[in-house]
Amino acid sequence: MYSIIVHGGVGAVSHDKEEAVIAGVRGAVKAGSDVLASSGSSLDAVETAIKILEDNPLFNCGTGSVLTFDGEVEMDAAVAYGPALGFGAIAGIKNIQHPISLARMVMEKTDHVLLQGSGAQEFARMMGIAPHNPITEERRVQWREYREKFLRGDAGDWPKLKALMKEHPEFMHGTVGAVAVDEKGEVTAGTSTGGVFLKLLGRVGDTPLPGAGTYATKFGGASSTGLGESMMRTLITKTACDFMRMGLDAQGASSGAVNMLSNILRTEAGIIVVDNQGGVGFAQNTPQMAHAYFKKGMSEPVAGL
């Protein structure tokens, strides 16, 4: 018994990129499932899958992350290890290739849960992580164009910025995550993101906060995507894990968690879930959420939008 599911974020995917995005999540889940098939741990599988997505500039994480209002890339990532309620996260990290790996180091090599900003940067240096520029030219061009619109007053505050996102929903597409259970029944969840396009410098979203964007217990794990402020207010991934503790399977937990958020805040949300019996589930209240999953016994991953 093992299984893994990944997501590439909610929001619209432009038609010309649909096949590439689906191929991206399929490749990530295949890499993670290969780890599980070789008797690897759920922790290794989740890290492996997310690193694949962090290297793919189609997704808003790692290389290809969206830029802040000031033209920087500030990335967040987290990993949650269910059996021990382990959690490691970094926030506002710059100039590294794989934020998910640094988040794992926080969990395994420190007594802390979350490192941010300059402290996270210094920790990366201590761990021997090589500098890496995650800014792509495509993101730089987008930043110049939409920052100019913002400064002209086309999006002068959060409600107007949300309107801009509706006009160009591809900017909501991006946060990536993976959840897996291995042959031992141990569940791990991970999430990585570049955050919200044109966010204020220093903004921290839901990804690195336990129970908001990422969470795992002995019953199951979850990774969410969407408007992070809503995830923080509802603790959507902890809600999903609590549903599994109360007896729901992965699909029931994912549907219940998204329905709860939708009824309270009516904002964009998506979630992927794995339970400790190998069940996988996913739900979203948007037209699309790139996702792929694989369970022991399947011949090929299932992937779609």
- For residues 99, 239, 81, 91, the Cα torsion angle rounded to the nearest 10 degrees is 20
Residue 140 CA from chain centroid, whole number? 22
Show binding-site residues for substrate. Answer: 203-206, 225-228
Query: In the predicted model, is pLDDT for residue 102 greater than 80?
Result: yes
CATH topology of domain 3-297: Glutamine Phosphoribosylpyrophosphate, subunit 1, domain 1 (3.60.20)
Residue 159 above 60 pLDDT?
A: no
Within 1-78, residue ranges assigned H as helices are 18-37, 42-54
36-72 pLDDT, tens per residue? 999 999 999 999 999 999 999 999 999 988 887 778 8
Instruction: Express as a percent the part of the chain with pLDDT over 90.
Output: 71
- Pair 65, 139: CB distance under 8 Å: yes
Numbered residues of the known binding site: 203-206, 225-228
Q: Would residue 175 show up in a list of annotated catalytic residues for this protein?
A: yes
Tokens linked to 33: 């499932």
Query: Which residues partner with 222 through β-bridges?
Result: 215, 273
Q: Given a cut of 80, is residue 184 above it in pLDDT?
A: yes
Handedness of CA 98, 101, 107, 108 (dihedral sign): negative
What residues does each domain of the chain span?
A: 3-297
Q: Is the pTM of the predicted complex or chain greater than 0.85?
A: yes
Share of the chain above pLDDT 70, in %: 90
Pick the catalytic residue: 48, 63, 68, 175?
175
